[in-house]
Structure 1
């Protein structure tokens, strides 16, 4: 059914309907003059099997305060986005009392009701929110990749999560459905599932997520990089993407090698609200894909699905060699931005259920499968908070579990505020998961109070593990110094006995000349998207300085 936009205003509903006329082709427009009437409209839409994408309301309603109305509407349709379009007579006077509600997640945007035609700033905000709703709440209308599978098993979910992170809308088809039969007819009769048909390329029988990456982007051996590049960036998260954009824009030849999905850990975030320049927030996937497209525009080459296995240091002016499973890249400089991986829970019965109710990271695709479920999120960082807020759109309940006595030490205040004001989210401090299980998928967890040792068994259909950072750089040679936890040392953090001529390396330089580190992999980094992107940009002048002697001699 066509999604619905509910427009609510006692005196200006006709104005809103006229302004939203441009959306009438793709959405049903329904108006209401009060909060109670909006609830009646929403209940009728839901009773008919429809969906509501967006509530848009005036800042003043006749029957209750608008923030109270949002509370009722969220209870009824938690996946819908919520916007205040304040009339120009009240926009400034109502703002101070209402913007507090936006900071705590009660609604998504505070806008000025358009005063004339073609108010594109207003509609840019609306389309951003509708795009976010469409990519997270419902199956896509336009499908780039067809997945054929008789069951939502761990591999099928992993493939779809990878595609979501790469910005490729996908849908799962039963083998006997029309879409399933279409793909099956392109292959021999005897096939094993899942099948993946991507972008009109030949369909494949996928054994791993990497099979899908190779089918879409090509295998390592399909590429030939004969020339020595200026910069090889290992890792396509925010730091690596920023390095690629700034280095390529300044004329350097750049290759980015990413083993998984572009965006790294940040790419799994449902909504990053504290990134500079995005007042309504931006999903990690969109931020990553915009940065990727920006880097491509300047000539960066991306090799997705390449697992880097080793780095051979260049000697006596020879380039460094970055080796992968299917080929090698020679580079005058290397920027290590591989980021971090989530630590393992190391509870064997739960490790056996990874992909079937247990997930490492936010697992955006899995969130849609949690409707009506009781879900637990383990972790106290921003990624865990963002995952909990997103899951609360679908799950009946979301419980955040942390070993610390509070979230204040590890999570941004804006997220703590959203969590405090979300009735579906509970925080349990001084608690850890010690056991769990189920028949074929997660059904229960055992929680332990770290102070008393008391244990409790709870029903659970989802467990999302965001347990903190472990470095991912075992492929680096011993020439690159690391701290006791395995993070790369740079600048003055390098031990004095490894300084050269009594001087430490430059701020983002490692102990191996011509090799730099940026982002979460670097010892002492802030573990924030903005700081990782800043380091990625800041490393480029150091790369230039390293390459300068060679450029001068050319």
Structure 2
């Protein structure tokens, strides 16, 4: 009973109603506690922190005897930074409280506000709470059940990468030590000389010398299971927001749809701890949840996913098979009447050898959400000034003792959404160093220090660092594409009338999202001129479908003469 995380209720006038509503739904999995005021709540929180008790949520009635709820919730992160914070507004006060609550949200004094239920089955109330508890459980709590086990020695960098993949996929996982009974038994089930890490996937398959790519392929279907001779209407290369949207719309419209992804389904967006400006999610949604729901949605319409290997090349159909293209991955060829390129971008490397030698040992490219728990009370640095870097900093600040953002530009506002700039400014454990770059670093087996440089004065400073998360901006991965596919000077795919006139096939401009290869389209971040936002990538993934249908109709006309 004592192991259950706490939901702390702070209520006075409506205390019985609030306590009854929470106990009716959450008393099995959480320890529900009620106090009557702000001072008592802070005292209880301090006691729980001192005793090592996890607090999942603090829910406070708007008016308390000794302080407003907003004032209390503002103070909660100084005691326990990971607890979700909710203001409970009585129905009769709701209209008058809206401006106050919205202002508090903008200041990040709380996570959300909800009306206190006035009757049975107020599911909107509980949806808001369950979403917050779900995100808390994924990003903060250790899993109480596991779907995948990883047997590895402490400090194994490959195992760290596997855990990051599993967390991005939303798969509960745990680490087993090969010297313990359970870990040893799993290794011996493969063989006494099995090379670590050993992974038991949720489907029961056990892998020795596992890698993230091998685990991904074991989870969602190996390429070797693709039926020979299959011709898909649409092959989507890349499963970020753009690729997932394309898959959902293609499959829902009856097209045979295959999605190829080299890493985790969800792409870079899948590692975002919280996306707050995505349409339809007023309380925000993690990149993992968005990717997970989109994958399930596409799969229910019939889309097939194959992960773990990168696409190596695309070949236009030969003269005897002009109606489809060939997409090659290692050892396998896929035939596709149309191809949608949605490969997104990758984070640029720092280009500092001493730093890159420590990737997986305190240094991470991308948000590495799974590592945030390992940064508790440590000194962490985030390199980058875009939205992904801001989201990573805010998430890390829930655990780390300090988070320092290192930004080459003079201001975050030049490259970051305003809501994130405000959130960072309102988080006391985040500091921002502008016009600053990382020039060196190192440590004994893992990151221990950084050298930074002031880009205006040239002055260098050595500083202690336990973690470095690099989110440096976008580079497209287009070197594998055929020569006939036009790219801009930065390597992004050109489409539509952005293609130079002398490259128009047969003197006709490609369709708006079509490349210089007929039947090959580009959407999302990989496309030159795209907005580089999750919502716009999803929009392009949906918008490409009329163009795909038009090309398929043209192929049918050429084949049948109708």
Equivalent residue in structure 1 for 2:27, among 21, 24, 27 = 24
Moved more, 433-442 or 144-153: 144-153
Does the Cα contact within 8 Å between 2:49 and 2:79 map onto a contact in 1?
no
Matched, 1:536 2:520: no
Which range is displaced more, 42-51 or 20-29?
A: 42-51
Tell me the residue number matched to 2:418.
Answer: 413
Q: Secondary structure at the match of 1:7?
A: strand
* Aligned-partner Cα distance in 2 for 1:107–1:288: 25
Q: Which digits, 9 at most, give the CA deviation of each residue in 1:420-443, with x for residues without a partner?
A: 000011111100000111000101
Matches within 5 A, 1:24-103: 24-103=27-106
Partner Cα separation in structure 1 for residue 49 and residue 402 of structure 2: 21
Q: How many Å separate the matches in 2 of 1:503 and 1:223? A: 36
1:166, distance to aligned residue in structure 2 (A): 1.4
Provide the residue aligned with 1:448 in structure 2.
453
Taking a change above 3 Å as real, the CA distance of residues 305 and 123 of structure 1, as seen in their structure-2 partners, is same
Mean CA deviation greater in 12-21 or 40-49: 40-49
1:429 to 426, 429, 434: 434
In structure 1, C-alpha distance between the alignment counterparts of 2:506 and 2:312, rounded to whole Å: 32
Q: Deviation at 1:185? A: 4.0
Deviation string, structure 1 residues 503-523 (Cα, Å, up to 9, x no partner): 321110101111000000000
Give the Cα–Cα distance (whole angstroms) in 1 for the partners of residues 298 and 290 of structure 2.
12
User: Aligned partners of 1:445 and 1:95: how far apart in 2?
Assistant: 45
> 1:481 is matched with which residue?
486
CA deviation vs aligned residue, 1:224-268 (integer Å, no higher than 9, x gap): 252211111000000100001111111111100000000001000
Instruction: Give the alignment of 1:78-477 within 5 angstroms.
Output: 78-316=81-319, 317-477=322-482
Relative to the length of structure 1, the TM-score reads 0.98
Q: State the 1:138 CA deviation.
A: 1.4
CA distance, structure 2, for counterparts of residue 377 and residue 358 of structure 1: 10
Q: Is the 8 A contact 1:30 1:41 kept in 2?
A: no
Q: What displacement does 1:11 show?
A: 1.6
Structure 2 gaps, min length 5 = none
Three-state SS of the structure 1 residue aligned to 2:350 is: coil
CA drift at 1:85: 1.3
User: 2:74–2:110: 8 Å Cα contact kept in structure 1?
Assistant: no
Report if the CA contact (8 A) 2:401-2:429 is conserved.
yes
Say whether the 8 Å CA contact 1:201–1:216 is kept in structure 2: no
User: Higher mean Cα deviation, 209-218 or 411-420?
Assistant: 209-218
In structure 1, what is the Cα distance between the partners aligned to 2:107 and 2:347?
27
CA shift, 1:187, in A, is 2.7
Q: Give the C-alpha shift of residue 156 in structure 1.
A: 1.1
* CA RMSD, Structure 1 to Structure 2 (Å): 1.4
CA distance, structure 1, for counterparts of residue 190 and residue 519 of structure 2: 48
Q: Say if 2:7 and 2:57, in contact at 8 Å, map to a contact too.
A: yes
Q: Is the 8 A contact 2:245 2:542 kept in 1?
A: yes
Tell me the distance in 2 between the aligned counterparts of 1:200 and 1:98: 45
Q: How far has the Cα of 1:550 moved from its partner?
A: 2.8
d(CA) in 2 for partners of 1:49, 1:179: 26
In 1, the alpha carbon distance for the partners of 2:434 and 2:378 equals 21
Deviations 1:99-150 (A, max 9, x none): 1121232211111011111111110111111000000001111200011122
- Count of aligned pairs: 554
Equivalence for 2:13: 11
CA distance in 2, matches of 1:120, 1:393: 29
User: Which runs of structure 2 are paired with 1:503-518 in the superposition (5 Å)?
Assistant: 503-518=508-523
Unaligned runs of 5+ in 1: none
Residue 452 of structure 2 aligns to a residue whose secondary structure is strand
Residues 165, 212 of structure 2: 8 Å contact kept: yes
Once the two structures are superposed, what CA deviation does each residue of 1:371-393 show, in whole Å capped at 9, x if it has no partner?
Answer: 01111101110000000000000
Q: Answer with 175-184 or 411-420: which moved more.
A: 175-184
Distance in 2 (CA, whole Å) between partners of 1:460 and 1:227 is 52
Question: Distance between the aligned counterparts of 2:179 and 2:70, measured in 1?
Answer: 47
Maintained 8 Å contact 2:372/2:399: yes
Question: C-alpha deviations, 1:179-221, integer Å up to 9, x for none?
Answer: 3244234232233322111125232223421122233334322
Q: Corresponding residue for 1:491?
A: 496
Separation (CA, whole Å) in 1 of partners of 2:141 and 2:156: 19
Q: Does the C-alpha gap of structure 1 residues 200 and 488 become closer, same or farther in structure 2, counting only changes over 3 Å? A: closer
Aligned partners of 1:483 and 1:523 also within 8 Å: yes
Equivalents in 2 of 1:550, 1:497: separation in Å?
25
TM-score (normalised: structure 2): 0.96
* Alignment match, 1:549: 554
Q: Report which stretch shifted further, 97-106 or 11-20.
A: 97-106
Comparing 154-163 and 494-503, the one that deviates more? 494-503
3-state SS in 1 of match to 2:52: coil
